[in-house]
Amino acid sequence: MSDWREIMPRQLERILARPCCTVTVACNPEESDTRLDLMGWIAVERGYSVPTRVRDARGRWADELLPTDAPLVHYVFVKQPYRRLGVARGLFAAARVDPAAEFAYTTKTAAAQKLAAKVPRARWNPLIARFDAKP
């Protein structure tokens, strides 16, 4: 945690700058712009490639980057006072990510680990976000 403020803002900027990354924010639309309280947000990427083991022409195994249709969830965050109210479920729906379907995610937190049973087909793959995205 002592390095968080030094390291994480740059990492978040890199993720959010990826060409196919979109961010959806949850807030109460009835609040005025001057006191708008953000409840949470989700960052999702589509059109990315994943390393996949394939056989080359000689029958040897090789890693190749292949595109996937599964969404890639980088971050889902809901502020503590709004948790257990369905905000995360609404963020997933707004970002067009079905928690019951296959998707990958790059960030694992204590909260995400507690919810693992609710997203049985989700696969943690932090390496995807460690390489520059190809548009």
Structure tokens at 124: 């943690």
Going by C-alpha positions, the residue among 86, 88, 65 that lies closest to residue 76 is 88
Distance of alpha carbon 43 from alpha carbon 23, whole angstroms = 4
- Tell me the pTM: 0.79
Provide the pLDDT for residue 25.
93
Structure tokens at 59: 């029958």
15-73 per-position pLDDT tens digit:
888 888 999 999 887 776 666 788 999 999 998 777 778 888 888 888 777 788 889 99
* CA atoms within 13 Å, Cβ hemisphere of 74: 23
Decide: 105 and 66 in contact? Cβ < 8 Å.
Answer: no
86-112 per-position pLDDT tens digit:
999 999 999 999 999 999 898 887 777
Candidates 3.40.1000, 3.40.630, 3.10.450, 1.10.10; correct CATH number of 4-130?
3.40.630
pLDDT for 135 beyond 60:
no
Rg of the chain, C-alpha, whole Å: 17
Structure tokens at 118: 């609710």
Provide the pLDDT for residue 131.
66
Provide the pLDDT for residue 47.
81
Distance of alpha carbon 120 from alpha carbon 129, whole angstroms = 21
Q: Where are the alpha helices (DSSP H) in 27-117?
A: 87-94, 110-114
3 state DSSP class of 46: coil
Provide the pLDDT for residue 12.
84
Decide: 25 and 38 in contact? Cβ < 8 Å.
Answer: yes
Q: Sketch the domain layout of the chain as residue ranges.
A: 4-130
